[in-house]
Structures are given as structure tokens and as C-alpha cells.
Amino acid sequence: MLTTVLSLIIIALLAAVAYLVRTNRALRRRLSQLPPSSPQPAPAVSPQAIHASAVSPQPIPAPAVSPQAIHASAVSPQPIPAPAVSPQTIPTPAVSPQAIPAPAVSPQTIPAPAVSPQTSPIPSPQAAPLPQQVLTPAEEFAAIDRRVDEQRLFLDATFGREGLCAASGLSKERIGQLIRRFGGGGNVQTYLNRKRVAYALTLMQQHPHYSMEAVAEECGIGNPSTFYRVFKQVYGTSPNEYRKIRRNDQQTPTKDQENTDLSV
């Protein structure tokens, strides 16, 4: 008995499914005949028809098919065309040879350098500089000493080793070697101070009325105490004692003057 009931239920279900399939096909054929601009929805399947065809103590309602779903599943006779890319809509950027001109080098803008025989004369062999004469150490010192005396560079109180190197073009070491060997020994300052007190001695002889401060200023030492100390180191006496001795020598008559007076 149970088997028979189950068989009847299965047969009813299959009949309902077959009915739905046939109905769906009929709707599709009817939709395909209609124009696409004004589609008409297919008639909805009533649940009572499905319920009447099914022989079951507990009816199983068939799923309702929506007209919009059937319309969406219909195949349109007009296929959707694929978007064609026109060559005019997306133009390929073309590089014109006129838009980017190549830089032209004109022969007139960059003239070739012309060598004129008048503007570039051939150097004469007589214009070539003579080779420098190699001096001995004694000659080097003599040239330096002569320049210092002729230009009286020692009269400047700020003149020292740097100035002497600039005037001679020699290094400090070379200047020191030449002065120690040929300048009476000592350093550069001692060499310059000897020249300054020698010039001071000439000033005292030519201008006996000068004060010692004026003599020290004129000879390039400046400081009177330094002048006294350097003068005594060189001549063995102070400047004042030297001036007294010279005055006495000028006042004491010589033997020739005494003989002249006696003869008169």
C-alpha cells in the first residue's frame, strides 16, 4: 500500500514537471514571435492547476514562474553587436618631421678660424728669452744686499724676513743661509739692524742737532731703547758717547792745522 502511494506521488510530480516544461516552451515560442520593442509577458501558471493535476493527500505546490524571469530568459533575435573601435576615434599620434625640426648647423654661424699671416706672425728667434744665468751663493747675497741698499728697504720698521723674501724671490731658508754665511752672521733682523745703525751713524754726522729719538725714528728702528742696544752691539759704544767723541775730534786741531798757524 505504501509503495503504491509513493508511486502515485512520483507520477504526479513527473506529470507536473512535464507540464511546466511544455508551458515554458510554448511561452518562449510565443515571445520569439512578438516584436522586441513591445514584449508581452507570458501568462502566469496558476497554482490551482498544478494542485489539481497532482494526486496526493498532501499537495506539493509547484514553484511560481515570474513573467519577468521568463522574459529575461528569452533569447533576443537581435544580437548585441560588439563595440567596434574606429581608427578615427583613437588616432595614433603621428610625429611630423616638420614639428620637430633637426638643428641645422649653418657654416655661416660657426665660421672656421682663419689664420692670417699678419695676425699670427712667426716668432723671431731674437724674441726668445735668454736663459737665466746661474748665480753663485756669494752673487745671490750681493744682489740681495745691493737691492736693500739701493731701495733703502731697511728704513721701513715693518720690513723683515717676509719682505726680504718677496723682494728677492727666494725662500726663507735660503735667505737665512745666505745671511749667516755672507751677511756677518746672525738672523735677518740682525742683518737689517746693522744697516739701520749704519744709516743712523750717517744721520748723526750730517745732522748733529738731531735728537736720538729722531735718529732712531729715521733709521727704521723706532724704539729708542732698541736703538741704543743695537748701536752699542755694533760699535761698542752708545750713540751719545759717539757724538761726544766726534765733537771733541772736530774741536781738537790736527798737526797740519798747528803747523799752518805757526807759519802764519
For residues 107 and 127, the answer to whether their CB atoms sit within 8 Å is no
pLDDT tens digits for range 131-151: 456 889 999 999 999 999 999
User: Nearest Cα to 225, choosing from 206, 210, 239, 209?
Assistant: 239
Q: List, as own/partner pairs, every contact residues 79-83 make where C-beta atoms lie below 8 angstroms and the sequence separation is at least 24, other chains included.
A: none
Mean pLDDT for the stretch of residues 108-134: 48
Quickly state the pLDDT bin for 246 (edges 50, 70, 90): confident
- The pLDDT, as a whole number, for residue 195 is 95
Give the separation between CA 161 and CA 63, rounded to whole angstroms: 122
Give the separation between CA 155 and CA 169, rounded to whole angstroms: 20
90: pLDDT strictly greater than 50: no
- The pLDDT, as a whole number, for residue 35 is 66
For residues 189 and 160, the answer to whether their CB atoms sit within 8 Å is yes
- The pLDDT, as a whole number, for residue 153 is 94
- The pLDDT, as a whole number, for residue 27 is 87
Cell of 120: 699670427
199: pLDDT strictly greater than 60: yes
The overall average pLDDT reported for the chain is 72
Tell me which amino acid residue 122 is.
Answer: I
- The pLDDT, as a whole number, for residue 222 is 86
More confident residue, 58 or 179: 179
Give the separation between CA 164 and CA 188, rounded to whole angstroms: 9
pLDDT tens digits for range 6-39: 989 999 999 999 899 999 888 888 888 776 655 5
Residue whose C-alpha cell is 620637430: 100
More confident residue, 185 or 77: 185
254: pLDDT strictly greater than 50: yes
Using a 10 angstrom Cβ sphere, with 0-12 exposed, 13-18 middle and 19 or more buried, the burial of residue 116 is: exposed
Quickly state the pLDDT bin for 193 (edges 50, 70, 90): very high
**Integer Rg of the chain from CA:** 67
Widest Cα–Cα separation across the chain: 201
More confident residue, 137 or 58: 137
208: pLDDT strictly greater than 70: yes
Show Cβ contacts of residue 186 under 8 Å, excluding neighbours closer than 6 positions. 179, 180
- φ, ψ dihedrals at 14, nearest 5°: -65, -40
